[in-house]
Structure 1
Amino acid sequence: MPNTDERGDARHPLAGDLAAIVESSQDAIFRKSLEGLIESWNSGAEAMYGYRPEEIIGRPVSKLAPPERKDEISDILERIARGERVEHFSTKRVTKDGRIIDVSLSISPVRDDTGRVVGAATIARDITQQRLAERELHIARQQLAIITRAGADGITIQDATGRMVYANDSAARMSGYPDAASFLAAPIEEVLQRFELLHEDGRPFSAEELPGRRVLRGEEQAEAMIRVLVRRTGEENWTLVRAAPMHDEDGTVHHVVNVFHYITEQKRAEHQLRFQNALLEAQSEASEVGIVVISPAGEIVSANRRFGELWKIPQEVLNTKVNQAAMEVVKGQVVDADSFVERSRYLWDHIDVEARDEIALKDGRVIERYTRTLKDETGATYGRIEYFRDVTEDRKREEGQRFLAQATKELVSSLDYQATLSRIAQMAVPELADWCAVDILEPDGSLELLAIAHVDPSKVEWAREFRRRFPIDMSALTGLPRVIRTGDAELYPSIEPGALETSLDEEQLEVVRDLQLSSVMLLPLRARGRTLGVISFVFAESGRSYGEADRLLAEDLASRAALALDNARLYRERDEIARTLQEGLLPGPFPEVPGVELAARYQAAGEGIDVGGDFYDAFDTEDGSWALVVGDVCGKGPKAAALMGAARHTIRAAALREQRPSAVLTMLNSALQQQSRDQWFCTVCYVRLRPQPGGARLTVCTGGHPLPAILRADGSVEFAGKPGTLLGVFRDIALTDATVELGSGDALILFTDGLTDAERTDKEFGQKWLADVLSQNVGRSAEEIAERLEQEVLGDRTQGLPDDLAILVAKVMP
């Protein structure tokens, strides 16, 4: 090769064809001396590095290396000087504009005519794009490995013969193998033998129907939903299998990729959703609540059977799905159609309003409506849902409870039993009867008509005259004589015209026909096992008839009236009177509460001469909950009894309308202020108990009353709720509802202050004392807890208690 000082132009001239080849090469070809100076530079080098020949020839070759790579230059020159070649050396170089590029260098020694190494010839190729492609391929391979190995979906690859050549670990686990290697090693027959494959409808799924095999037979893509039964365990799974081909350049399928997507949970969720929808539909159809869903466009989206029944809407009208058509039917039934339409329009104009109201119907029924917007979890509005419930009987019971409360107040307000029973007869008309009469058994065995009332007062004297003209035959087999003899009530829901012809003469029959009797109840006035008289309720001109609810109300009233009568007759024995009346005001046997045991104790203060002021109650509120009540009214004797009865029955009546204890006590507070002539007040603890699996949920509210205690199954004791305002004194009161959960074995203890304030020899009292006593009664029954608390108060007393005592225990049975 010629010496550098023999160059004729900027690029050292090369002879003949060799020069043309070097110059036309796309690779960078240049020569450098052993000192590292560049001696020649082709067009490929200019294109790669950016330097023109006149800019780079004679300059050090280290100019082309990044700072961290400059040591490579000296190492390479030393190897060249020793006569070594450098083949395909990958490194980095820097261009004129400062870019770092990946290059592959092949460097050979240049020798003179004597064979001495005088320089080096370098061929450099830009491999930057190749390196980028290699890195991207490496990343892609890593990602593919992560996806296929760690992904939830199973992936297998079959070759053109159907043989499995690849599987990820997910596919292995889905097939019951610990890893991909053991899965691939297993014969396909062994794999398939582990499972029974079925179509969605239960038909057998053959191996030939597998998507992979279908693709190998020519389908471009294939998928199948497969029910997989594991033969060994009987477990059922669902898998969605998709298969796609891999083609050669000529379009021939050389492999098939299968993806197995495990959808068992999805299928179970779909099944559960279908079940829940079917259950909801069944519940809706079986419900005694009418339910209708109306879209914003006024279309009836859904209406259950009861909705049509309550409103007597023909099925053909409901089938139109037009709400306005149904409204026309409803309007004709309500008492105040204009108000009903106006209210309904308001609710539609204010779609977000939640409301509850009652609608009076012309046929005497009362329908309660509860309505709210129907939205999904995103807040999207689908329309309005309305619930309709026939509350006619509920309202009758409430009226009955209010009647009983007022009647009780009358019964215990005076010892003049004649005046009291006369007022009771008058109160019963017209709510409970067209006629009401009270007959008292005299010592000689005859009956005295003590009181009589009629919707038409002018007929009262006529009725008395009829009794004088036709005295009662006490030997008669039916009617008042039989009730007196047996103590059993007689109920005649309807009276047929000819039913009395065999027992009455013609004159009596003519009078009875004039009475227009339609239904009769004869209830004994029984107290302390003796029948004191009979109270008669008669429907006549109104044409109404008595039912079971009327009988229960009348029996309750008769029982209270009998107690008042007995109380008045035994006035000289006031202690006995007080006990009898007290028993009548306290509840009877406790209701059956699922999973909860109830027990109570009651002790009146003093020697039992006066009626105590403490009371308790437990009753079914008919909404799946039970009410537990303990209260303390002001004073003692008849006044306390009247207040206690009014409070107890007002609570019962309010509980049928309101669920929140605070609302019930608010109604009681209003009733006390309205009814009281003197300053009546009381304290009450009201608990709404809702049984639930493994326990019960309590909503506690107190009005001036001690907070109830909770004895946990682990022995800890806490006091539930927040103190509230005394009832009956203030118009505006502060009451708070507190929610408490009872678990298995937990007990709730309601009590009056006669428990915590009682004097004891150890001088201890209050919540701390009660907590200590209760903690010693873990595991005991409700009855045993109540007994223990009562004994703690009574002790060895020889005299009566200084204050009344009421205890009510509710324990969740373990």
Structure 2
Amino acid sequence: MRTKTVRVLLVEDDDGDALLVEALLEEVSAPFVLARARTLAESERLLADAECVLLDLGLPDATGLNALHRLLSKPDAPAILVLTGRDDEREGITAVAAGAEDYLVKGQVDGELLLRGVRYAVERRRSEDAQRQLREAKLLAAERARLERGLLPPPLLQNSDVDLEVRYQPGGQRMLLGGDFYDAVGMPDGTVYAIIGDVCGHGPDEAALGVCLRIAWRALVLSGAPPEKVLQTLDQVLVAERHGDGIFTTACMVTVAPDRRSARYFLAGHPEPLLMVGDRIVDLPQSKIGVPLGVLPDYAWTGVDVPLPSGWSLACYTDGLIEGRVPDDIDRLGVERLCEILEAHLRNGPNWMDSVIAEVTELNGGALDDDVAILLLKDGK
């Protein structure tokens, strides 16, 4: 098996010591590409192309461990082997404690020892990097799980005759949660509340804000706050908790009456829900799409009343579902095209959410840029 070439940077100002290192490597035909720097400043310019550094601790522009500390502070610093004199072995031990992979004493090294030392240092650094990446991946997974519990909680619909289905798909290649959230709560009088929201932007700050809003919404509903006041209070929470003045959130809130014959929905800059009966989509009454949360202080959102026919289902979704691209079209997918796709899948049965998301993704030519969340309420009678 062919041995992989290792890129080595020798940082040594003494020409004689540098020639000795080169001779030792040639002696064992080491598969190294060797570059040399005479000063620390020169080595910093060459560092990005090195897998291992042979570092002399006595340089014209750095003495002692200063050079080692500066190189280790660089992003993605390579493995570093320290070269010491015969009388400086203690300094080599100190260098290893400070982050060097190992140390070698000048005059006590042959070609084989130098070859093994470099290979060991490189493999040890690769192993350390792999372990660090694994730890980071585990931490990210744990953080994602915590955010998911906050953004996408189990609904409080025990013993309710309204069925609920939900879907969530992260946008792009991130496979991380964004700021989309949803929730549903059944009240003692039989009223069902549901919300779906989308915090603008992506990242942990947006996700944390989505968790805050979702928890506040559930607390407001359970406390018996009137639907007309819930969004106003959420707006105040958003303004108080957001990490930037330009951060806003769109939301759609729905209340389903205890007799399941009517619903009321509120829009805060969000796509309106889709009402379905059987395999067709029913037009909703004309509605005013209110401004998003966090845009206008003291704004009052008003609800739109909707009669619910027998066998109804009501889908609320975030705009990631309609903002995908369409082949040979400069426009986004849009609501009209989404409805055409949805009705085609409704004719094949009620389990349409996964197949619709899959078709929208295929039309986009790959993963959708934005997160997609769908909350589907269904008449369970």
TM-score (norm 1): 0.28
SS at match of 1:635: coil
- CA deviations 1:185-218 (Å, max 9, x no partner) are xxxxxxxxxxxxxxxxxxxxxxxxxxxxxxxxxx
Query: 2:202 & 2:358 partners in 1: Cα distance?
Result: 23
Equivalent of 1:775 in 309, 329, 343: 343
Q: Deviation of residue 610 (structure 1)?
A: 4.1
1:753 to 305, 319, 325: 319
SS of 2:272 mapped into structure 1: coil
In structure 2, which of residues 258, 282, 298 is the aligned counterpart of residue 717 of structure 1?
282
Q: Partners in 2 of 1:631 and 1:701 — Cα distance?
A: 12
Partner residue, 1:639: 205
| Equivalent residue, structure 1, for 2:309 | 743
- The code of the aligned residue for 1:702 comes to L
Give 2:145's aligned amino acid.
T
* Pair 1:681-2:248 in alignment: yes
Determine the C-alpha separation between the residues in 2 that align with 1:778 and 1:796: 18
How far is 1:584 from its partner? 1.6
Q: Residue 289 of structure 2: SS of its match in structure 1?
A: coil
Output the amino acid matched with 1:795. E
TM-superposition CA deviations, 1:517-566 (whole Å, max 9, x none): xxxxxxxxxxxxxxxxxxxxxxxxxxxxxxxxxxxxxxxxxxxxxxxxxx
User: Deviation at 1:779?
Assistant: 6.5
Change in CA separation of 1:713 and 1:645 when aligned onto 2, cut-off 3 Å: same
> Residue 809 of structure 1 aligns to a residue in which SS?
strand
Q: How does 1:548-559 map to 2 (within 5 A)?
A: none
CA contact (8 A) 2:169 2:373 kept: yes
Change (3 A) 1:796 1:740: closer
Task: Give unpaired runs (5+ residues) of structure 1.
Answer: 1-568
| Contact 2:144-2:177 within 8 A present in 1 as well | yes
1:690, CA displacement in angstroms?
Answer: 2.3
SS of equivalent to 2:136: coil
Are the aligned partners of 1:660 and 1:737 in contact in 2 as well (CA < 8 Å)?
no
Q: Distance in 2 between matches of 1:629 and 1:780?
A: 28
Q: Give structure 1 regions of 4+ aligned residues with deviation exceeding 3 angstroms.
A: 569-575, 592-595, 657-660, 777-782, 796-800
Specify which of 266, 276, 300 is matched with residue 701 of structure 1.
266
Paired residues, what number? 243
Distance in 2 between residues matched to 1:707 and 1:683, nearest whole Å: 11
Aligned to 1:7: none
Q: Is contact 2:275–2:282 with CA below 8 Å preserved after alignment?
A: yes
CA contact (8 A) 1:590 1:598 kept: no
Which one of 210, 213, 219 corresponds to residue 653 of structure 1? Answer: 219
- State the alpha-carbon separation in 1 of the partners of residues 347 and 255 from structure 2: 24
**Map of 1:793 onto structure 2:** 360
CA distance in 1, matches of 2:379, 2:203: 35
CA contact (8 A) 1:581 1:611 kept: no
Q: Distance in 2 between matches of 1:797 and 1:767?
A: 15
Distance in 2 between the 1:651 and 1:658 partners?
11
1:630 paired residue number: 196
Post-superposition CA distance 1:601-625 (Å, at most 9, x none)? 1011122354311111112234421
Q: Counterpart in 2 of 1:583?
A: 148
Partner SS state of residue 669, structure 1: helix
Q: Structure 1 residues 583, 624: closer, same or farther in 2, change over 3 A?
A: same
- For 1:804 and 1:674, the matched residues in 2 are separated by 25
Query: Gaps (5+ residues) in structure 2?
Result: 1-133
Rounded Cα–Cα distance in structure 1 between residues aligned with 2:349 and 2:154: 20
SS at match of 1:747: strand
Corresponding position of 2:334: 766
Residue identity in the other structure for 2:368: L
Q: Distance in 2 between matches of 1:659 and 1:792?
A: 39
What do residues 581-602 of structure 1 show as CA deviations (whole Å, max 9, x unaligned)? 3422211266246433211110
**Partner of 2:5 in structure 1?**
none
CA contact (8 A) 2:153 2:183 kept: yes
> What is the distance in 1 between the residues matched to 2:298 and 2:155?
35
Q: Deviation string for 1:62-100 (max 9, x for gaps)?
A: xxxxxxxxxxxxxxxxxxxxxxxxxxxxxxxxxxxxxxx
Partner deviation per Cα, 1:118-138 (whole Å, 9 max, x = no partner)? xxxxxxxxxxxxxxxxxxxxx
User: Residue by residue, what CA displacement relative to the aligned partner does 1:751-809 show, whole Å, maximum 9, x if unpaired?
Assistant: 01111111132646222112222333447765x13223222222277853200100111
Partner residue of 1:598?
164
CA contact (8 A) 1:627 1:689 kept: yes
1:795 counterpart SS class: helix
CA shift at 1:656, angstroms?
2.4
Counterpart in the other structure of 2:293: 727
Alignment map for 1:311-390 (pairs within 5 Å): none
8 Å CA contact 1:661–1:699 kept in 2: the answer is no
- Contact 2:147/2:208 (8 A) holds in 1: no
Q: Point out the structure with max Rg over C-alpha.
A: 1
Alignment partners' CA distance in 2, 1:573 and 1:631: 28
1:727 alignment partner, SS class: coil
Query: CA, structure 1 residues 715+686, in 2 after alignment: closer, same or farther (shift >3 Å)?
Result: same
Identity of aligned residues (%): 33
2:216 matches 1:663: no
Structure possessing the higher relative contact order (Cα contacts under 8 Å, 6 or more residues apart):
2
3-state SS of paired residue (1:701):
strand
Distance 1:755 1:809, change over 3 A: same
The structural deviation recorded for 1:636 is 1.6
The AA in structure 1 aligned to 2:163 is E
- Whether the 8 Å contact between 2:148 and 2:177 is mirrored in structure 1 is no
In structure 1, what is the Cα distance between the partners aligned to 2:177 and 2:201?
9
Q: How many angstroms does 1:674 deviate by?
A: 2.4
Q: Is the Cα–Cα contact under 8 Å of residues 160 and 190 in structure 2 kept in the other structure?
A: no
Distance between the aligned counterparts of 1:660 and 1:774, measured in 2?
33
Cα 1:608–1:593 shift into 2, 3 Å: farther
2:219 aligned partner, one-letter code: A
Residues 633, 640 of structure 1: 8 Å contact kept: yes
Structure 2 residue identity aligned to 1:670: Q
Task: Please list, as runs of the form range in 1=range in 2, the aligned pairs for 1:66-145 lying within 5 A after superposition.
Answer: none
Structure 1 residue aligned with 2:136: 571
Q: Secondary structure at the match of 1:678?
A: coil
| 1:372-521 pair list within 5 angstroms | none
| Correspondent of 2:186 among 608, 616, 620 | 620
Partners in 1 of 2:356 and 2:159 — Cα distance? 22
CA RMSD across the alignment: 2.8
Change (3 A) 1:779 1:812: farther
Structure 1 residues 685, 674: CA separation in 2 closer, same or farther (over 3 Å shift)?
Answer: same
What SS is found at the alignment partner of 2:206? helix
**C-alpha deviation, 1:580, in angstroms:** 1.8
Q: Indicate the SS of the match to 2:167.
A: strand
Paired letter, 1:800: A
Cα separation, 2, equivalents of 1:749 and 1:793: 16
Aligned: 1:810 with 2:359: no
